[in-house]
C-alpha cells in the first residue's frame, strides 16, 4: 500500500509565513511525527532570490520594487531569481527522500514530470531544456530565437534538501499577472519569455481546479496515497505560521 501524502490547501500565504511552516514541518517529518506533506498555496507578490542569484537579476532598486507592491526575499532554495504572485500555484512538498534512494536528481526529475503531465491535461505541451531549470513550452532554446519561436517558461523548480527532507518545490503560472517577470531577469536569462496556463489556452483557468490536477499527478508520480488535510489539523495555526 502506498504511503500517505497529506495534501494541504492553504490559500494565500505570505512568503515569510510559508518559510516558517516549511521549517516546522521539515523538523516534524524528520522525527517521524508526520508523513510526507504537500502545501498548495499562493503568495502575495514577492521576488525570491535563490542561492545562485546575482544582483543583476534584479536591475531596479529594492525600493522601486516595493513601490510596485512587490517584496524581495532571499531564500535557501536552489536556482536564481523568480516571481510569485496571486494566480500562480505554488506546491511545497515536505518529503523524505529515503524511499527514492536519497537521489535529489531523481526527485527533481519527478517534479518535472508532475508539471509536464498536469499541463498536458489542459492541452499545453511542455518539456525541459538541458542546463535550465523548470518547464518550458515547445520552441527554440531561450536566447537563440526571437519572438514566438522561442520557448517560454511556464513553471519554476527550486528545492532545498536538509538531512534528507525536502522543502520549497514547484511553481506553475496558472492565471497570474506576468508583468512582474519583465522587471527581472528570470532564471538569469536575458530576454527570457514567461507564459501562463491561461495565456497558452486563451481562456482564464481556475487555480483550484489545476491544484487538484497537480496533486493527482504528484501522488501518482511519487506513488503516494493522498489524504486531504486542513492547515489546522496539521497544527499550522496563526501562532505557528506567524513570524517571530
Q: Which residues are catalytic?
A: 187
Residue found by looking up cell 537579476 in the block: 57
Burial label for 144, CB within 10 Å (0-12, 13-18, 19+), is exposed
Helix segments in 46-185, DSSP class H: 62-67, 104-120
Instruction: Name the residue among 217, 240, 213 with its Cα closest to residue 22.
Output: 240
Instruction: Name the residue among 126, 119, 89 with its Cα closest to residue 211.
Output: 89
CA distance 20 to 67: 26
8 Å CB contact between 8 and 38: yes
Amino acid at each position: 500500500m502506498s504511503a500517505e501524502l497529506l495534501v494541504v490547501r492553504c490559500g494565500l500565504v505570505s512568503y515569510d509565513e510559508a518559510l516558517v511552516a516549511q521549517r516546522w514541518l521539515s523538523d516534524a517529518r524528520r522525527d517521524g511525527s508526520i508523513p510526507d506533506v504537500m502545501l498548495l498555496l499562493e503568495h502575495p507578490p514577492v521576488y525570491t532570490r535563490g542561492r545562485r542569484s546575482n544582483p543583476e537579476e534584479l536591475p531596479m532598486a529594492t525600493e522601486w520594487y516595493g513601490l510596485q507592491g512587490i517584496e524581495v526575499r532571499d531564500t535557501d532554495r536552489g536556482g536564481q531569481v523568480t516571481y510569485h504572485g496571486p494566480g500562480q500555484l505554488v506546491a511545497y512538498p515536505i518529503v523524505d527522500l529515503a524511499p527514492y534512494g536519497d537521489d535529489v536528481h531523481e526527485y527533481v526529475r519527478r517534479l518535472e514530470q508532475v508539471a509536464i503531465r498536469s499541463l498536458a491535461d489542459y492541452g499545453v505541451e511542455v518539456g525541459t531544456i538541458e542546463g535550465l531549470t523548470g518547464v518550458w513550452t515547445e520552441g527554440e532554446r531561450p536566447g537563440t530565437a526571437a519572438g514566438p519561436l522561442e520557448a517560454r517558461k511556464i513553471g519554476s523548480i527550486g528545492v532545498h534538501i536538509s538531512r534528507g527532507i525536502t522543502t520549497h518545490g514547484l511553481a506553475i503560472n496558472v492565471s497570474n499577472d506576468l508583468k512582474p517577470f519583465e522587471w527581472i531577469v528570470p532564471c538569469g536569462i536575458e530576454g527570457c519569455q514567461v507564459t501562463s496556463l491561461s495565456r497558452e489556452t486563451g481562456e482564464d483557468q481556475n487555480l483550484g481546479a489545476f491544484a487538484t490536477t497537480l496533486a493527482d499527478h504528484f501522488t501518482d508520480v511519487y506513488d503516494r496515497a493522498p489524504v486531504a488535510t486542513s492547515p489546522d489539523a496539521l497544527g499550522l495555526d496563526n501562532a505557528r505560521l506567524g513570524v517571530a
